A = this chain, B = another copy of it.
Amino acid sequence: MSFDRLVKKIKETGNPSVVGLDPKLDYIPDFLIQKFQEEDGATLKTAARAIFAFNKAIIDEIHDIVPAIKPQAAYYEMYGYHGMKTLAETIRYAKLKGMFVITDGKRNDIGATMQAYTAAHLGSVRVGDNEIEPFGADALTVNGYLGTDGIKPLLEVCKERDKGIFVLVKTSNPSSGELQDQSMNGEPLYARMGDLCEKWGAETIGESGYSAVGAVVGATYPEQLRELRARLPHTFFLVPGYGAQGGGAEGVAGAFDVNGMGAIVNSSRAIMCAYQKEQCAPEEFAKAARREAIRMRDDITNYIKIAK
């Protein structure tokens, strides 16, 4: 009912980073796609099968050194229900390998509908006498624009099943300031959203000092990262925008507390496409991903020290 499980995994691996699995078909080596295309033609099923094979190989290579994966739901929905099957299979496989799984879905709705999203991604549904987990992630990213009504259904399942959520607070994109930086009653909207995270999480604070309600804060805004770290002492941060979007390791250091804890930094494309950048054999894609994951870990832990 907090992020203690994630904190434990980060300590075990000495690595506060998460590998984003956002598998555009362009990222997947041709030989993998060809293999499935021979069986199923140029179909969504082929795309989905190639993506699962790609994800599985990367998970096999990184699960001992990286605490978590973050599949981005959009890239699975993009391949229709076959893609959603791959999302479920990817989550299941990563959990089997002991990884913590954050589904990046930025879901939001109210009441019974938010309960449905919660059941889909973090909980279970009943059919006849069976209780079934449709996707079964450990945490879900959510959008808080609708207020408490959209968060409450998540909190119940977080408490029951030891799950967590990350609420969008200050996103990594250039236009995030259009609304998030605007002054609301004297403070920026992102600060107000951050305060709500502290409030929503108040009853779920674990041994680590962090609650089950985390925040998404972009690596591209190092000042706000530091400001929010100080302001939100019980809110664990998911930090996108490292690497490809321009956020550096020095900048993300501000997301961490004095114990080198309190945040996990995401990298997606740089890891998935490491084989392209290295220009190694495409068959080496998973090993190249591992090399880049190690490089990233060392880059970040150069600036922060994780207390034992």
Q: A165-207 vs B: 1/0 string, CB under 8 Å? A: 0001001111111111011110001001100100000000000
Q: Does A163 contact B (CB under 8 A)?
A: no
Q: Which residue in chain B gives the minimum CB-CB distance to A82?
A: B81
In the bound complex, do residue A78 and residue B184 qualify as a contact, i.e. CB atoms below 8 Å apart? Answer: no
Known: A24-B116, A77-B116, A178-B196. A42 touches B147 (CB 8 A): no
Cα separation A207 to B42 with both chains bound (whole Å): 39
In the bound complex, do residue A146 and residue B134 qualify as a contact, i.e. CB atoms below 8 Å apart? Answer: no
- The count of chain A contact residues (Cβ–Cβ below 8 Å) is 75
Copies of this chain in the oligomer: 2
Cα separation A249 to B77 with both chains bound (whole Å): 36
In the bound complex, do residue B175 and residue A127 qualify as a contact, i.e. CB atoms below 8 Å apart? Answer: no
Q: Does A72 contact B (CB under 8 A)?
A: yes
A46 neighbours in B (Cβ, 8 Å): 127-128
A117 neighbours in B (Cβ, 8 Å): 74, 77-78
Q: How far is the CB of A260 from chain B (nearest CB, A)?
A: 28
Q: Does A22 contact B (CB under 8 A)?
A: yes
A177 neighbours in B (Cβ, 8 Å): 147
From residue 17 to 51 of chain A, which have CB atoms closer than 8 A to chain B? 22, 24-25, 33, 37, 41-44, 46-47
A135 neighbours in B (Cβ, 8 Å): 77, 80
Q: Which residue in chain B gives the minimum CB-CB distance to A126?
A: B25
A47 neighbours in B (Cβ, 8 Å): 125, 127
From residue 186 to 244 of chain A, which have CB atoms closer than 8 A to chain B? 189, 192-193, 196
Q: How far is the CB of A34 from chain B (nearest CB, A)?
A: 9
Cα separation A114 to B189 with both chains bound (whole Å): 22
The 30 sampled A-B contact pairs (Cβ below 8 Å) are A24-B112, A42-B128, A43-B127, A47-B125, A72-B113, A74-B109, A74-B113, A74-B114, A75-B116, A77-B84, A77-B120, A77-B135, A78-B119, A79-B125, A79-B127, A79-B134, A80-B85, A81-B82, A83-B120, A83-B134, A106-B109, A145-B179, A147-B173, A147-B179, A149-B176, A150-B175, A179-B193, A182-B184, A183-B185, A184-B189
